[in-house]
Amino acid sequence: MASNNIKIHQQCRVAPPSAPQTSLPLVFFDMFWLRFHPVERIFFYTLPITHSNPSIFFTQVVPKLKTSLSHTLQHFSPLAGNVFLQACRSVHLKAWASLCKTNDDHSESSSSTPSLPPELEPFFDRTVIETVSVFGSSSSNDKPLPKKWFGEDSDPRCLKLLPFPPRLEDHVRGSFVLTGADLDKLRNRVLSKWDSVDIVEEESNANSGVSSKPTKLSTFVLTCAYATVCIAKAWHGVEKEKNKFCFGFSVDCRSRLQTPIPENYFGNCVWGHLADAKPSEFIEEEGFVIIAKRIHSKIKQMLDEGVFHGADITARRFITLAKEGFETFGIAGSNRFGVYGNDFGWGKPSKVEIVSIDRALTIGLAENRDNKGGAEVGVVLKKPVMKLFATLFYGGLSDE
């Protein structure tokens, strides 16, 4: 979205009623993810007529947003002074929406802080993150990451953002929807061909294996496989030299550590994985089936053998593949985040955009706003690639 399409009416600072001195120690997961560019979302709302009148909007709606944000920051004091009104963390946004919608009796001058629902009350205790073994031996939370993970010339204790490509100014943005019926069709297609589409393992992936035919496939697996294959085929169709692809994704580790972490833990607790796919499999005729099998098998392997299984090898592969000119697909968001459930009192968002996907080859993922069980995919591509992608994406959903 071009900045000249946005008119800024007001800039202000919002602080909690009181801001005690608070700090949070970095844990192992932070040392990896803090160097990556953050995920940035914009939430669009269509206000009802009673709220959209400019005079009402600026005299009633805006003050209510400020007051509820102030009360929210009281629960999220480590964020005070470090978060923007335009982009907020998901759990923080849900808490803000909850207080804005349900606490009309608290004015900005109120001495009491309204409470949050238990599931939205943040859990900050970092001691729940146990020592993890990722380097082949026991590792403490304050141990620096190996140089080979970010390059031999990097400082493993540096928290500076890694270099990222500039925003893709010559690209266009598109949103594509998969309904529950679409996903059922894709699921049946993969399962019906599971045993007939063979996958040959490379020597480097000989131990990864492909799991036996499952009884079901998740929305995440189907959406990621379908979107990445459509992008790869579209890109290859426009630029023939683009023929080497791979897919990386992150895994929520809260329920997968030896001691499960509370669902309302506020902090990084995700880990990255690579699907064990050959570079050309994304553009093969049965690429969708192959990549779906690859992603599903990787997730199953992680569940069976531990979330950090093969982590050291994965880190080296990320670097090697980048040097060899692979185009690496990433994923931002999830179909389980419930971003369309953020209701501030005037209904759910009309659109949610992950704007940061225009920095790299990243797919934005969310639930389908209007269809339970569906998914919404956001992509940023060159115009001719986007045109072919749309043809492949919707053409692949037609009845065969």
Q: Are 244 and 277 in contact (CB under 8 A)?
A: no
Here the tokens at position 154 are 């990097």
pLDDT of residue 26: 80
CB contact set of 183 (below 8 Å; sequence gap of 6+): 219, 222, 223, 373, 374, 375
Centre a 10 Å sphere on the Cβ of residue 144 and count the other Cβ atoms it contains.
Answer: 12
* Structure confidence by residue, pLDDT tens digits, 87-99: 334 557 899 999 9
pLDDT of residue 84: 46
Centre a 10 Å sphere on the Cβ of residue 264 and count the other Cβ atoms it contains.
Answer: 16
Please tell me the number of Cα atoms within 13 Å of 333 on its side-chain side.
Answer: 27
Between 123 and 35, residue with greater pLDDT? 123
Between 256 and 165, residue with greater pLDDT? 256
Across 222-240, average pLDDT = 97
Q: If we measure between CA atoms, which residue out of 210, 241, 211 comes closest to residue 325?
A: 241
Across 36-49, average pLDDT = 86
pTM of the predicted protein model: 0.87
Superfamily of domain 165-395: Chloramphenicol acetyltransferase-like domain (3.30.559.10)
* Structure confidence by residue, pLDDT tens digits, 149-207: 555 555 656 667 767 666 777 899 999 999 999 999 999 999 999 999 887 665 445 44
Here the tokens at position 252 are 């929520």
Q: If we measure between CA atoms, which residue out of 250, 249, 245, 208 comes closest to residue 229?
A: 245
CB contact set of 332 (below 8 Å; sequence gap of 6+): 39, 354, 356, 357, 362, 363, 364, 365
CB contact set of 353 (below 8 Å; sequence gap of 6+): 1, 41, 42, 44, 173, 175, 364, 378
Residue with tokens 């993890």: 132
Q: How far apart are the first and last CA of the chain?
A: 36
Rounded CA separation 52/74 (Å): 29
Between 35 and 328, residue with greater pLDDT? 328
Domain spans of the chain, in order of start: 165-395
